[in-house]
Structure 1
Amino acid sequence: MLFTTHAPWTTMNIISGILCCCPYSIDLHDIVFSCHLVDHPNELVLYRSPFEEYSAMLENQRQLATELVTWLGDLSPGHVQDIGGGNMTQCIEKELNESIRLGKYLSKAVCYIDSPWPGGDTSPQSLGERKILREQASELAQQLYPLVELTIFDLGSGNSEKLLPIFNELEKAEKVCRYFAVDVNRASLESHVQGLSKRYNYIYCFGLHGSFEDARRLAIDMPGEKVGISCSSTLTNFEPEKVLQILQDWSQVVDRLILGQHEPVREKELESSYHTPEFTEFMRGGWDKANELLGWKEFDDTRWSLECKTTTLPQCHKFHCTPLAQPRTEFFWFACYKYTVPEFQRIIQSSGWRVSKCYRDEKTKMSMYNIIPAQKTDAGSLEGTPLARHV
């Protein structure tokens, strides 16, 4: 069964959305065509002007837009579409080399592309999040009912069933919507959306294999109203400055965000959560994947030591990778941040959002923040906000 919307996917819509992401701006009055005289007087070497480079970039974007139109029109429930995940290994390989040689921070992607988060459904924070979503499913679903042509983006979905209570409420109300699960782990995505597609009649479930930024760029000019959901502190598990930028970027795309965020815990509890047999196996799997991508056995206990480091304000746990053989450079890996409620609310407010409601599980120190644009007056109105164009 193909899912169709009331607003058509048009080539120009998607092209305009992609071009909104263009990092370049150019004034045609400032264009100059340059040349360079070489040692031989009869030879002239012409260089591409900024206009020519810009035109070439636009042509690449148009080709991409055409491809997107094709698969968006043909996409069927239960299908996983590559939106950048296929290039993930090359990006990670570059990251690895820059970490080893230059000491740059290494992201978590090398661990996630082949393995799910250990204890993703059994850790205290996951249990707290499940409890919140189960108890508040009806209230959260009621806020989604009025949204026109609703699309839900589940950022870092894996194969988790945390959102099922909300989906059950939407299904019961016969609320037609699209659900896009976004993850870098394709195997988890396929299992997840195929299972959901068999379960629901009114929720059309698809997978997007790629990064959150890949999904954000794709979603920019999608028709209808959009909601982003991120469980397990996934979207905002970074230093404050980066979280601020991420939230500002997503404010251009979605009409509401529901964010899971873990609060600081005692240092002993923090340390123990990253020293379970499951997590050790998960990190070893990241080393193995890194060796596979590099093409040689770079990471093992004879070449590198792996030590935990913690900081405060905000609380952060990360791994310090120290080389035991030269020439190599130390680097940090797999940083996990935890924010107090006031800390996180300050970031939200500074990014142009406001907290509609914060749900909190005291026992596990897990919170779910339901946030909307700061200008938005109520759950059902977008009047006066940048997102009003979607109505």
Structure 2
Amino acid sequence: MPSRYASLSRAELAALVPELLLIGQLIDRSGMAWCISAWGREEMARVAVEEWAGASPVYTRRMQRALGYEGTDVVTIFKGLQLDIGAPPQFMDFRYEVHDRWHGTFRLDHCGALMDVEPLGEEYVVSMCHDIEDPTFDATAVATNPHARVRPVHRPPRSPADRRPHCEWTVGIDDAHPPVEPLAPYFTIERTRAATVELDPIDPGDEGAADYSGPLLSDVDFSRFSRSALARIADEVCLQMHLLNLSFGLAVRTRASDAAQADEVLTKQLVGVAGVAAERIARVLGLDDPLRVLELHPLLNPAAYVTGAVRGADLSVAPSPASADGAWIALCGPGRERPLRAIVQAVDPCADVEVAGDRDRWTATLVRRDEPAPVADEVAVTRVSTGAGFVFEPRRSLPITPV
């Protein structure tokens, strides 16, 4: 199935890809608020560990294969972080140093996630920067080398309170390190259809870079990639979101009292991130058509994973690998219009959808109301994140050599 992103220009895709990476980070800004409400801060932290540890090794390997930088060294780990929804560029401003193939450091000159949790108090900072990061950094590194260790030099809570950089970490690879074993959720997520879906190969003859096989760059200049490569990156980033959401859903369902509570938490997460994502996509691409934004939204991408088509004022959805996985699209349909409404109303507050069909096959028709709809509570909660209004800046992309 051809990528829906292939309809965009190279310049549009270069602007959209970092937006998609940031949208992936906002999944947690949306979802974890409802986990805290349901089960408390400590259980929220456990959900986050299981969520990221289940998904990140799977999608990290996918991006390595797609962009031709598979390896076992720290450069491979750092390239993976630059293309990871857990570390969106600038919002999570990673700065890298490579000492040799097996040793390096990174620091965060700015951590948007820290900016979001610091106002909540030290307990929340410790949950994120200690309880969650310790196991999940190693879980991400294991995708490249099970003998890798990611360890803090310093990290929050910040002392003094305005300490910069926000944190610093070492990465060391040594065969003497006992190999890190993936956490249990990984073995479920690696068997999903999202983990194995085949996407269009990158056209090596397209103008621009077709891979990331060269040197590690200080900041990835997405405009250097070809249109074909950017469409593949965009699809892979959307799959990262689906994999993270599937892992989140796995963690939520093990804690929910019943299926109704699980669906409530998962739907609230989707509504929140869907609305903010639509706002950012519309803004970066200059779109005012709600259905065009819906067509390019991570909810419906990649096309090889989510079966749907926009024709006129209608979106028609059919069974797909995504619906079989129980991905986001499974939370939409007749009687489940709220995520779709959040998307179209982010573009036009007077827009709405009417949905007809059954659970497997349905059509959403765009309609217009006389009065603008209020912002959904879930979208308002997600907008509290500094990532909702974050603005990217131009950066020079320089090669990083061992120091």
Tell me the TM-score range normalised by the shorter chain.
Answer: under 0.3
TM-score, normalised by the number of residues in structure 2: 0.25
Whichever structure has more helix as a proportion of its residues is 2
TM-score, normalised by the number of residues in structure 1: 0.25
Whichever structure has more strand as a proportion of its residues is 1
Higher relative contact order (CA 8 A, sep 6+): 2
